[in-house]
Amino acid sequence: MKAKTVFKIVLLLILAVILAAAGYVAYVLIDYHRLPDWQRLEVAGNASGEARTGTSYTMLSWNVGFGAYSRDFSFFMDGGKYSRAYSEEEVLTNITAAADLVRRESPDLILFQEVDLDSDRSYHVNEADLLAGSFPGCGRVDAVNYDSPYLMYPVLRPHGKSLSELLTLSSFEVESASRRSLPVEDGFNKLLDLDRCYSVTDIPVDNGRTLRVYNLHLSAYTSDGTIATEQLKQLMTDMAQTYAAGNYAIAGGDFNKDLLGNSSEVFGVSGKDVTWAQSFPFELLPKNVALQAPFDAASPVPSCRNCDIGYEPGVTFVLTIDGFLTTANVQVEGARVIDDGFLHSDHNPVVMTFTLKDG
State whether 91 and 107 are in the same domain. Answer: yes
Q: How far apart are CA 195 and CA 219, in angstroms?
A: 9
CATH number for position 89: 3.60.10.10
Number of independent structural domains in the chain: 2
Same structural domain, 12 and 46: no
Q: Give residue 273's pLDDT.
A: 83
Residue (of 212, 197, 192) closest to 165 by Cα position: 197
- What is residue 127's three-state secondary structure? helix
Cross-strand partners of 141: 43, 168
For residue 223, what pLDDT is reported?
A: 54
Co-location of 142 and 182 in the same domain: yes
Instruction: Indicate whether 27 and 169 sit together in one domain.
Output: no
Q: How many CA atoms lie within 13 A of 181 on its CB side?
A: 13
78 in the same domain as 27: no
11 and 127 co-located in one domain: no
pLDDT, residue 93, reads 98
Q: Looking at the structure, do residues 161 and 18 belong to the same domain, yes or no? A: no
Of 347, 322, 208, 180, give the one whose Cα is nearest residue 254: 322
CA atoms of 65 and 75, how far apart (whole Å): 11
Say if residue 170 is in the same domain as residue 265: yes
Are the C-beta atoms of 214 and 247 separated by less than 8 Å? no
CB-count burial class (<10 Å; 0-12, 13-18, 19+) for 278: middle
Do 23 and 130 belong to one domain?
Answer: no
Kindly state whether residues 155 and 235 are assigned to the same domain. Answer: yes
Task: List the chain pLDDT tens, one digit each, 359 residues.
Answer: 677 676 676 677 777 667 655 665 554 555 566 688 889 999 999 999 999 999 999 999 999 999 999 999 999 989 999 999 999 999 999 999 999 999 999 999 999 999 999 999 999 999 999 999 999 999 999 999 988 888 888 988 999 999 999 999 999 999 999 999 999 876 555 455 567 899 999 999 999 999 999 999 998 866 556 788 899 999 999 999 999 999 999 999 999 999 999 999 999 999 888 888 899 999 999 999 999 999 998 999 999 999 999 999 999 999 999 999 999 999 999 999 999 999 999 999 999 999 999 97
Domain extent, residue 23, equals: 1-31
CA distance 358 to 246: 11
Could you tell me the CA-to-CA distances from 23 to 20, 93, 206, 356 in Å, in that order?
Answer: 5, 38, 57, 55
Q: Are residues 98 and 72 in the same domain?
A: yes
SS3 content of the chain, % helix, strand, coil (to 5): 25, 30, 45
**Does 174 share its domain with 266?**
yes
**What element of type H or E holds 4?**
helix 3-31
As beta bridge partners, residue 62 has: 112
Question: Pairing relation of β-strands 56-63 and 109-116?
Answer: parallel
Q: What is the pTM of this model?
A: 0.93
Strand partners of residue 356: 330
